[in-house]
């Protein structure tokens, strides 16, 4: 029953909505089906599939529920600690001694922007008072235009700032009631844009022109896709990195990269160097 519907729902949604969801991991799709069954009060998968066929809006809801939009400021404390204490200082030192003074970072699935703004805070703090020629640019992308709009706006409920120190809250946000808004200074080095990681036309965000990223953030994304498509994402992201660049994943995705031959620079940090390095 489950297998039948798992095969049929992607085919139906491709036909009715023009959206191919076959790239997603089977377990992720199964959980989505069960979640939508609960939301629509359908007691069996057959009943849900019949409801889906009769409701175009439910098809849209199903596809929307596949969008990966959860994010946090400084998610995974160890990753950001290693970035702050080891990786970024090392990159900045190399940049200060070379001709290219720009640190380039790609946040591949920025969602509502917390990851991106966390990186911007670190870089603003680390470059303050050092070589004035040093610069950084963060290219933040997401396949969802609605998420990019939210990220650009940079407004967050106070509950979203629980992992931020009071110092950072005061330095990088303005507060009105229980809403915190990112200051313009923190946004000035960020380029938000819609980008499809499975695009055959572009190997990296067009606004970045040539890629060559020192760091690529691809966190909490890979495990939503089937192995074939994980490989495509890894090929695209590593292909856009500089020769000594770093690839960062989520904690639960570490094994995917380790099994693919990537080297983790600090155990449990989820910060990797390419197998070719």
Could you read off the pLDDT of 20-39 as tens digits, one per residue? 898 999 999 999 999 999 99
Task: Go through the domains of the chain in sequence order and give each one's CATH number.
Answer: 2-65 (no CATH), 77-273 (3.40.50.150)
What pTM value is reported for the model? 0.89
Residue 5's pLDDT band, with cuts at 50, 70 and 90, is very low
Residue 212: the pLDDT is: 92
pLDDT for residue 130 is more than 80: no
Residue 277's pLDDT band, with cuts at 50, 70 and 90, is low
Output 69 or 120, whichever has higher pLDDT: 120
Residue 68: the pLDDT is: 74
Residue 181: the pLDDT is: 98
Residue 40's pLDDT band, with cuts at 50, 70 and 90, is very high
pLDDT for residue 128 is more than 90: no
Residue 38: the pLDDT is: 95
Lowest mean pLDDT among 26-40, 46-60, 64-78, 88-102: 64-78
Could you read off the pLDDT of 210-219 as tens digits, one per residue? 889 999 999 9
Output 131 or 193, whichever has higher pLDDT: 193
Lowest mean pLDDT among 28-32, 64-68, 162-166: 64-68
DSSP H or E run through 263: strand 263-264
């Amino acid at each position: 029953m489950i297998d039948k519907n798992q095969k049929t729902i992607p085919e139906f949604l491709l036909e009715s909505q023009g959206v191919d969801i076959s790239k997603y991991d089977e377990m992720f799709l199964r959980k989505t089906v069960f979640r939508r069954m609960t939301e629509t009060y359908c007691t069996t998968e057959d009943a849900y599939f019949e409801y889906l066929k009769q409701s175009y809006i439910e098809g849209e809801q199903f596809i929307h529920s596949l969008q990966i939009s959860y994010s946090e400021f400084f998610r995974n404390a160890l990753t950001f600690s290693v970035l702050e204490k080891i990786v970024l200082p090392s990159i900045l030192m190399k940049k200060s001694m070379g001709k290219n003074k720009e640190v380039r970072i790609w946040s591949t699935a920025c969602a509502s922007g917390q990851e991106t703004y966390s990186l911007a805070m670190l870089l603003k703090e680390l470059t303050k008072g050092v070589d004035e020629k040093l610069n950084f640019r963060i290219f933040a992308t997401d396949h969802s235009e609605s998420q990019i709009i939210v990220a650009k706006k940079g407004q967050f409920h106070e509950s979203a700032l629980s992992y931020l120190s009071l110092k950072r809250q005061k330095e990088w946000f303005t507060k009105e009631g229980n809403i915190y808004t990112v200051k313009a200074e923190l946004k000035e080095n960020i380029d938000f844009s819609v980008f499809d990681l499975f695009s055959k036309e572009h190997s990296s965000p067009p606004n970045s022109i040539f890629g060559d990223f020192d760091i690529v953030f691809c966190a909490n994304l890979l495990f939503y896709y089937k192995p074939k498509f994980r490989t495509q994402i890894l090929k695209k992201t590593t292909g856009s990195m500089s020769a000594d660049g770093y690839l960062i994943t989520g904690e639960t995705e570490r094994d995917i990269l380790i099994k693919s031959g990537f080297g983790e620079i600090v155990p449990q940090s989820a910060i990797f160097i390419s197998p070719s390095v």
